[in-house]
Amino acid sequence: MTTTDFKYGFFLGCVIPNRYPMIEASIRAVMEELGAELVELEGASCCPAPGVFRAFHIPTWMAVAARNNCIAEEKGVDILTGCNGCYGSLRDSWTELKHDPALKKEVNSHLAKIGMEFKGNREPKHITQILYQDMGLDYIRDHIKHKFKDLKVAVHYGCHVLKPSDMRPWGGESEDPRFLDELVELTGAKSIDYKDKFMCCGAGGAVRSGIKEVSLDFTREKLVNMRNAGADIIVDCCPFCHLQLDLGQVEVNGTFADEIGEPFNIPVIYLTQLLGVSMGIDPSRLGLMKNHKLSGVSPFISLDPFLAKVKEQLI
């Protein structure tokens, strides 16, 4: 397949460029390896965040999300986003506007002030949707060069990639999904079952900002369940979940020190970072950084244990 088969507008959102640029690097590297072309969406704004903007003023949320979708329409590409929250805003607004003519007319009256019109002819897609549905497991499997011999992965889907199910492309699989597990297992890694696997990471809906201890209690529960199941690493597909599971481990180790026993130290890896190393891409191109001594800079949990497994296990 040529790059014209897989051409997408890359919607960065806020958390990836500001907190986890290594996720952007891994998406770009893997998409290049898979023969995809990524188009820059100049002028794109915050999606805007569904747990914040939509909770306060739906019309503003809808208009801003529609504007972002319009940028992709004008470039003639579907959107690729690596963030569950961005996916939620862009896809929910896209779906609602396509099925509600009155709402579409109202939003377009606002967009007309800046010379834009929402048509709905370009689909916002999550990176997992593109990998699993557009490209498919067989196509990706052909690009795998190395496989892990013994790597136990606790996958974390996150909320917005799955729900609301009637606005997602997974059909009945939204209730018991396997697509992230199957993508992970292309690398030879084992996606393990663990208690409350589809539980929220704790960050969404502005809970992290509003009630930090409640947010971290969610994260503590997830981490306990992952560790009890024997996870070597956590693999996610959302930068905000990534933040909560990465920085959140440090915070949980402090806030719940008396309850958790041994501090958590589980490397958190984004999906395309895992796929990338199995494709033979240099880990440095995937943003897989060794431990550092910088304060307030990700990754907060050392990736050294994972990098050691990359060196030892890939065959």
Bridge partner residues of 80 (DSSP): 10, 125
pLDDT-derived band at 294 (thresholds 50, 70, 90) equals confident
- Residue 38 DSSP label: E
What pLDDT, in 10s, does the model give residues 230-288? 999 999 999 999 999 999 999 999 999 999 999 999 999 999 999 999 999 999 999 99
pLDDT in tens, 17-51: 999 999 999 999 999 999 999 999 999 999 998 87
pLDDT for residue 112: 98
In the chain, which residues fall in CATH 3.40.50.11810? 145-313
More reliable by pLDDT, 3 or 70: 70
Angle 17-19-24 from CA coordinates, rounded to 5°: 40
| Of residues 144, 137, 157, 131, the one with CA closest to residue 188 | 144
CB 186 within 8 A of CB 149: no
**Where in the sequence of the chain do the CATH 1.20.1050.140 domains occur?**
3-128
Whether 127 has a pLDDT exceeding 60, the answer reads: yes
User: Can you spell out the DSSP letters for 224-283?
Assistant: HHHHHTT-SEEEES-HHHHHHHHHHHHHHHHHTHHHHSSPP---EEEHHHHHHHHTT--G
> What's 3-128's CATH class?
mainly alpha
For the ranges 3-12, 20-29, 68-77, the lowest mean pLDDT is seen at 3-12
* 146 has a pLDDT exceeding 90: yes
Per CATH, the number for 145-313 is 3.40.50.11810
